[in-house]
């Protein structure tokens, strides 16, 4: 399922697959327009990482049919001036390797490019864009990360409840356990005996993972696609595996929820870097707020939209003390911090937890549908 870079790579004039020069195009493959051989080699390599072989137009303008029908067009900075007269279309990205080119933005405007990607810094964004086009992704998922300000506060329960709320809203939901010491979210959802992939089999994946194949391979308790740890002594996932999994999960659409550890490794940093909205669950007690400050500080360095969820009391003062906006308050509710695997997901019954997660998910997914950046609803 995971297509590594050795399998997916395609060098323009090396030992890999050759780019297509006109003719029938691989479904979902982008059109590359450039006469710069070095840039072409990089673009073919990056397309190969996404598992596709591009069609290449060395001379611009390209064939009108290719220009019109390609799901994505990657225009080299060298070719932009020669495309001024072609019809405008969506899905055009201008790609350059010249950081000092002051005219790159003018060239982007001339061809109607939606973005300017500067290599090598934007390699990951380019691979994601190519993979999205290859899989026909219309709207990427919103990624919500959940962390506890202190141990035993119920962050895993909240993460499961958010995923279940997305399912109730009729949206795809994929729940990722990023805490190898948390005991396994499958236990919390009563899914420990369900067949399907767990982290030990995906922990060394890299490159592109097909989003549809990932969803089909994972257990699906209560309609939630779940990637959890098992009770083996396998090593935690590497950062490349975490990046590949989250990228694939985003291409499924809907909501991706990541249950985050309070202290993490390189894989945790990869997960944090891909979170759109972060929730820090903290008790409304002075010692708990003090314990949450370093978590808020370290998490906030990578998650630009981090919000506080306050448990067991008024939330304004704890959130203000942490320097975070308040996402909501959770009143007392029996079983919130207990993962008892009762055969139903947390938040499935009326109560403070259900009210919060249903409202939060509706706002976040509604903002994403309206085109707000990263689904950043308040």
Span 290-295, mean pLDDT?
Answer: 96
Per residue in 95-128, pLDDT tens?
A: 999 888 888 989 999 899 999 999 999 998 899 8
Using 50, 70 and 90 to split pLDDT, how confident is the model at 10? Answer: very low
Provide CB contacts within 8 A for 177, sequence distance 6+. 184, 185, 199, 226, 227, 228, 229, 259
CA dist., res. 141 & res. 128, Å (int) = 13
Q: What pLDDT shows up at residue 332? A: 79
Q: Write phi, then psi, for 115 (nearest 5 degrees).
A: -145, 160
Comparing CA positions, the residue from 332, 335, 334, 294 lying closest to residue 310 is 332
CA dist., res. 125 & res. 208, Å (int) = 13
Identify the helix (H) or strand (E) that includes residue 370: none
The answer to whether 272 and 114 have CB atoms below 8 angstroms apart is: no
Comparing CA positions, the residue from 253, 255, 258 lying closest to residue 242 is 258
DSSP conformation letters of 97-127: S-TT-TTHHHHHHHHT-SEEEETTTTHHHHH
Per residue in 251-271, pLDDT tens?
A: 999 999 999 998 778 999 999
Angle formed at CA 28 by CA 26 and CA 34, multiple of 5 degrees: 80
More confident residue, 66 or 343: 66
pLDDT of 337 higher than 80: no
**Which residues face 328 on adjacent strands?**
309
CA dist., res. 18 & res. 259, Å (int) = 41
Residue 132 to residues 117, 209, 243, Cα–Cα distance (Å): 16, 11, 15
Comparing CA positions, the residue from 178, 271, 278, 276 lying closest to residue 229 is 178
* DSSP classification of residue 20: B
Q: Write phi, then psi, for 355 (nearest 5 degrees).
A: -65, -40
Q: Which two tokens stand for residue 44?
A: 């073919």
The answer to whether 162 and 291 have CB atoms below 8 angstroms apart is: no
More confident residue, 126 or 15: 126
β-bridge pairing 208-209 and 326-330: unpaired
pLDDT of 333 higher than 50: yes
pLDDT of 8 higher than 50: no
Write down the pTM of the prediction: 0.77
Span 139-143, mean pLDDT?
Answer: 92
CA dist., res. 52 & res. 9, Å (int) = 8
Q: Which residue has the tokens 């611009």?
A: 60
The answer to whether 310 and 327 have CB atoms below 8 angstroms apart is: no
């Amino acid at each position: 399922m995971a297509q590594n870079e050795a399998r997916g790579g395609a060098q323009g004039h090396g030992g890999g697959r050759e780019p297509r020069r006109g003719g029938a195009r691989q479904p979902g493959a982008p059109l590359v327009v450039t006469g710069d051989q070095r840039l072409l080699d990089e673009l073919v390599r990056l397309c190969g990482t996404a598992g596709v072989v591009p069609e290449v137009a060395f001379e611009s303008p390209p064939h009108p049919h290719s220009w019109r029908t390609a799901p994505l067009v990657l225009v080299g900075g060298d070719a932009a001036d020669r495309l001024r007269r072609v019809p405008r279309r969506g899905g055009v990205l201008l790609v350059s390797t010249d950081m000092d080119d002051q005219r790159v933005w003018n060239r982007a405007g001339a061809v109607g490019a939606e973005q300017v990607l500067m290599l090598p810094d934007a390699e990951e964004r380019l691979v994601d864009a190519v993979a999205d086009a290859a899989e026909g992704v219309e709207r990427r998922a919103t990624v919500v990360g959940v962390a506890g300000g202190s141990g035993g506060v119920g962050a895993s329960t909240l993460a499961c409840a958010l995923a279940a709320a997305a399912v109730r809203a009729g949206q795809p939901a994929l729940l990722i356990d990023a805490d190898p010491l948390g005991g396994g979210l499958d236990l919390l959802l009563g899914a420990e005996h369900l067949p399907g992939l767990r982290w030990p089999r995906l922990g060394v994946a890299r490159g592109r993972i097909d989003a549809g194949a990932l969803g089909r391979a994972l257990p699906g308790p209560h309609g939630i696609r779940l990637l959890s740890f098992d009770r083996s002594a396998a090593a935690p996932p590497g950062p490349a595996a975490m990046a590949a999994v989250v990228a694939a999960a985003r291409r499924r659409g809907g909501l991706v929820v990541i249950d985050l550890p309070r202290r993490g490794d390189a894989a945790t940093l990869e997960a944090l870097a891909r979170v759109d909205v972060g929730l820090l669950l903290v008790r409304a007690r002075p010692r708990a707020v003090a314990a949450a400050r370093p978590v808020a500080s370290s998490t906030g360095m990578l998650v630009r939209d981090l919000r506080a969820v306050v448990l067991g009391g008024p939330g304004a003062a704890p959130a203000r003390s942490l320097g975070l906006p308040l996402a909501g308050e959770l009143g007392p509710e029996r079983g919130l911090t207990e993962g008892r695997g009762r055969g139903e997901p947390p938040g499935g019954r009326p109560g403070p937890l259900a009210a919060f997660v249903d409202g939060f998910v509706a706002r976040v997914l509604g903002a994403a549908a309206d085109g707000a950046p990263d689904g950043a609803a308040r």
